[in-house]
Structure formats: structure tokens, C-alpha cells
């Protein structure tokens, strides 16, 4: 993705429906871990011109990140809002370990939230999310505070020129 040698196949994508489809594929693992998904999403469809496969991979990587690093027997909050011509997707969870790294560092290639982690994975998941969101005209931001992990994706709604950043 960093080479910009990727072709986007843009189509109408219902981001809430796609996100729920991806979450269903992880439902068994979430249940084993005692993770409860708390959805706060609009009733109506939110249709954006996106690449369905790349967007699927974005959500897949975020859910895999949650299942790898979330504190067992906790809640995962998924919010979708439409402030000021944007769609904002926020995923929040408690990490099983305290996060001693800045959020922006977690989107760099091969960086992991805790140097002591020795589980499988390349450290590329969030870097891929950032690349694929950016290629599709959006922004991706991570915040960490102690053991709280918050990932935010922002895309402009159709008819809006650019993604508006919150102050």
C-alpha cells in the first residue's frame, strides 16, 4: 500500500453492514474471550464510495487487533456517527496490558503496543489500516491512555470535498 501501486475498485459500500459482517466472522473468538460488542450505529445505511475488499481488510485488521490484545471479559464499543459531513467510526477497548506507546506510533510498520508481546503477528495490521483508509481519502487516528485503546476512522460523506478534522 505504501508504494501507491494499488488499484481501487470503488463502489457503494454500506460501512455499517460491512463492519457487522466482519464482526460476525469473529463472534466465536469474541465469545471465547468474553468480549461484548456494544454497537452505537445509525439505523439507516451509510453508503460511501469505497473499495469493498480494502474496506473489509480495514475492519478485519481492527477486529483481529481487538481479539489479540483486548482485556478478556470486557466490552468493545463501536460507534458510527455523522458529524459535519463526515462519517466517523470509532472502536474502543481496554487492552490486556498497559499501553506504553503513543497512538501514532502504533500505525508505523512493525510496531506493536507492548514490546513484551510475543504472540503471532507482524505489527503491520494497523499500518495497513492507516494506508487503506488514506488511499480511500479518509483519516485514521489512534489514541491510547493507560490501557484504553481508541481507533478512529473518518471519511467524508458523498458530496463533501474533504475529511474535516475535529479540533
Q: What is the 3-state secondary structure (H, E, C) of the chain?
A: CCCCCCCCCEEEEEHHHHHHHHHHHCHHHHHHHCCEEEEECCCCCCEEEEEHHHHHHHHHHHHHHHHHHECCCCEEEEEEECCCCEEEEEEEEEECCCCCCCHHHHCCCCCCCCCCCCCCCCCCHHHHHHHHHHHCCCEEEEEEECCEEEEEEEEECCCCCCCCCCC
Give the least confident one: 82-86, 102-106, 111-115.
111-115
Q: What is the pLDDT of residues 121-161, one digit of tens each?
A: 445 788 889 999 999 999 999 998 888 999 999 999 987 66
The pTM assigned to this predicted structure is 0.85
Mean pLDDT across the chain:
85
Q: Using 50, 70 and 90 to split pLDDT, how confident is the model at 113?
A: very low
**Residue, of 97 and 51, whose pLDDT is higher:** 51
Tell me the three cell numbers of residue 55: 474496506
pLDDT (0 to 100) of residue 83: 87
**Residue, of 94 and 144, whose pLDDT is higher:** 94
CB-based burial label for 72 (10 Å; 0-12, 13-18, 19+): exposed
Highest mean pLDDT, choosing among 1-5, 14-18, 111-115, 120-124: 14-18
Which of 41, 32, 39, 40 minimizes the C-alpha distance to 67?
Answer: 32
Amino acid at each position: 500500500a505504501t508504494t501507491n501501486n494499488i488499484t481501487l475498485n470503488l463502489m457503494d459500500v454500506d460501512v455499517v453492514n460491512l463492519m457487522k459482517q466482519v464482526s460476525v466472522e469473529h463472534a466465536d473468538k469474541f465469545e471465547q474471550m468474553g468480549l461484548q460488542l456494544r454497537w452505537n450505529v445509525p439505523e439507516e445505511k451509510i453508503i460511501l464510495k469505497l473499495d469493498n475488499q480494502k474496506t473489509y481488510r480495514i475492519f478485519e485488521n481492527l477486529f483481529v487487533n481487538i481479539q489479540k490484545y483486548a482485556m478478556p471479559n470486557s466490552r468493545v464499543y463501536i460507534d458510527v456517527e455523522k458529524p459535519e459531513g463526515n462519517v466517523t467510526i470509532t472502536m474502543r477497548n481496554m487492552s490486556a496490558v498497559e499501553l506504553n506507546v503513543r497512538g501514532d506510533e502504533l500505525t508505523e510498520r512493525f510496531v506493536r503496543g507492548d514490546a513484551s508481546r510475543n504472540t503471532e503477528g507482524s505489527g503491520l495490521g494497523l499500518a495497513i489500516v492507516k494506508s487503506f483508509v488514506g488511499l480511500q481519502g479518509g483519516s485514521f487516528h489512534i489514541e491510547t491512555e493507560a490501557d484504553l485503546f481508541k481507533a478512529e476512522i473518518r471519511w467524508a460523506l458523498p458530496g463533501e470535498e474533504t475529511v474535516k478534522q475535529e479540533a
